[in-house]
Amino acid sequence: MKRHHRTRVMFSAVPGNGAQQLELFALLNLGFVQSLASGVLSPVEAVERFYHSENCLYVQKQLRKREAKAIMSHGVQLPDLFDSLSADEARREFYHELEMIRVLCLKIIGDIRSRAFSDRAVA
């Protein structure tokens, strides 16, 4: 019998400075959003692999970025949508939550790139 090993991302093990970690965080989330939207990952799998408590704490204590905290909050609640809402409402809210995560990720990436561009222009 073949065993499937599930990858669990531990963000605390990622090297780099704050801006690098934040950009990687946003890029990883965009991948999770795509995987969730396409059905490759279920909401429960996404929480098990990325939106788990260890990463939530790391984001809160180390990254300390409002948008990153909001992303984790949206990600953690994804499985609950299907427990508390009708199927149609849950699906609609699920895609709305994914879009919120996507927008927050793009904001983080845009902010980092704007800051880097400003730093180069000043130098």
Single-letter amino acid code for the residue at 97 = E
Q: Sign (positive/negative) of CA torsion 79, 81, 87, 90?
A: negative
Q: Give the model's pLDDT for residue 18.
A: 82
Single-letter amino acid code for the residue at 62 = Q
What's the chain's length in residues? Answer: 123
E strands within 47-93?
A: none
As a whole number of angstroms, the distance between CA 89 and CA 81 comes to: 8
As a whole number of angstroms, the distance between CA 82 and CA 116 comes to: 40
Q: What token pair was written down for 102? A: 């996507």
**What residues of the chain score a pLDDT lower than 70?**
1-6, 117-123
Q: Give the model's pLDDT for residue 37.
A: 98
For residue 30, give the nearest of 88, 91, 109, 83 by alpha carbon: 109
Are residues 93 and 85 in contact, defined by beta-carbon separation less than 8 angstroms? yes
Q: Which residues contact 51 (CB under 8 A, 6 or more apart)?
A: 32, 72, 75, 76, 78
Q: Give the model's pLDDT for residue 119.
A: 66
State the greatest distance between any 2 C-alpha atoms of the chain, in Å, as a whole number.
60
- Tell me: the pLDDT tens digits for 30-50? 999 999 999 999 999 999 999
Any idea where the domains of the chain sit in the sequence?
18-122
